[in-house]
Amino acid sequence: MNILALFSEKMKNGVEGRKKSPEILFQLPEYPIIWMHAASLGEYLQGLPVLQALENEYPEDQILLSFFSPSGYEAALGKVPSHYKIIYLPYDEIITWKRLLTGINIRMFVLVKYDYWYHLLAFLKKKNVPVYVISVLFYEQQLFFRYYGKWFRHQLQKNVTWFFHQTRHSLKLAISLGIKNGSWSGDTRIDQVKTLLTVPFQNELLDSFCAGNKVIVFGSSWETEEQLAKILFDKTKKVRFILAPHDISRLEYLVKVFPEALCLSETTTEQIIKSRIVLVDSIGQLSRIYRYADIAVVGGGFHSKGLHNILEAAVYGKPVIFGNKYRKNPEADALILSGGAASFSDEYEAGKFCIRLLQQPIEMEEMGKCSLEFIKSQPHATSHIVKQITSSIM
């Protein structure tokens, strides 16, 4: 890691940030600590509903949040409440945990999804700290299923108090490995997106832009989704487009591809009602902008980088379109099975399907209803998790 820091600014930030972690840990109060660890920002957001519920159950406890990834830590800095203590997770060495954690009163350790640090888990077990893993996803390609995975399986069996599985399939796989201390809880992200329906949101510019028009929202777009937007833009005349790139540094390129595009933060009502395409040039709004869509196209699925959050679009009852090269996204398979989503191998097939939906409004409406019904049918994962945790901690 220290060598990589010579060539990467993010790695350098991680190395320097870890030097500050001991000081923060030593300054923690004597009263109990609820410690949540997330590999990166996405995992933190997935665990946030549980963390907030636990904070309500134990309002006097200090919240400690740790990340291993520099990108996760840096992105979370501006998102976590100011009273949370946030650190880079120190390197996983027995001597490190003895030095840093011996005098700290940890009520529980909550790990989101994965990112197992075996010396840490073993140390917490010796301190009688309950360890809970939430939003767990076991899948056949993990090392636990390899011939050399016996030691790792044993560590999880021995040191984790309870696994809360995101899917029934994950629970079944865990049981097949002899890891029986777990239950199916569902996806905490669904609890998170359901709150979007209760939070008022209005954007007068987008209200004017979308009024009386069919709208396709492209969320967290990469190059292929942007090529799809271009195909649909050229083949339709009355449809309007909202494009939110995954990286706003792509805006300069997108303005060249769509010369008439307007940046949302720089336009006026008079200008926007005359345009067919708007670029979202700030972060943090996409989950609420999906409500304007007739069709939602979610980025990341046309390559191996990772599919972005499709649930944020589905909660508004929208047909959801994405590429089929995603991995480890069981919610994508489930949403397709429900009839609320469709995935494609390339932008051309996706484009044909989008045009068909635009020409068949009843089919588009039915697909949107399936999306919403899928969201409504999912269990309240947060309640299940918190109820079991609080009932097991004396």
**Rounded alpha-carbon distances, angstroms, from residue 213 to 116, 209, 332:** 48, 8, 28
> Where does 196-377 sit in CATH, by number?
3.40.50.2000
**In this predicted structure, what is the pLDDT of residue 7?**
42
- pTM given for the model: 0.86
Q: What is the CA radius of gyration of the chain?
A: 23
Which helix (H) or strand (E) element contains residue 75? helix 70-77
Q: Name which CATH class applies to 4-186+379-392.
A: alpha beta
Beta bridge partners of 343: 322
Task: Tell me the CA end-to-end span of the chain in Å, nearest whole number.
Answer: 40
Same fold, 4-186+379-392 and 196-377: yes
**In this predicted structure, what is the pLDDT of residue 328?**
80
**In this predicted structure, what is the pLDDT of residue 3?**
45
Place of tokens 């004597």: 30
Which helix (H) or strand (E) element contains residue 278? strand 277-279
Delimit the domains of the chain by residue range: 4-186+379-392, 196-377
The span from the CA of 124 to the CA of 118, in Å, is: 10
Three-class SS state of 178? coil
Q: Mark the ranges of the chain whose per-residue pLDDT is less than 70.
A: 1-12, 14, 394
Alpha helices per DSSP H over 211-346: 223-235, 251-257, 269-272, 286-289, 311-314, 330-338
Three-class SS state of 27? coil
Q: How many CB atoms lie within 10 A of CB 339?
A: 16
**In this predicted structure, what is the pLDDT of residue 5?**
45
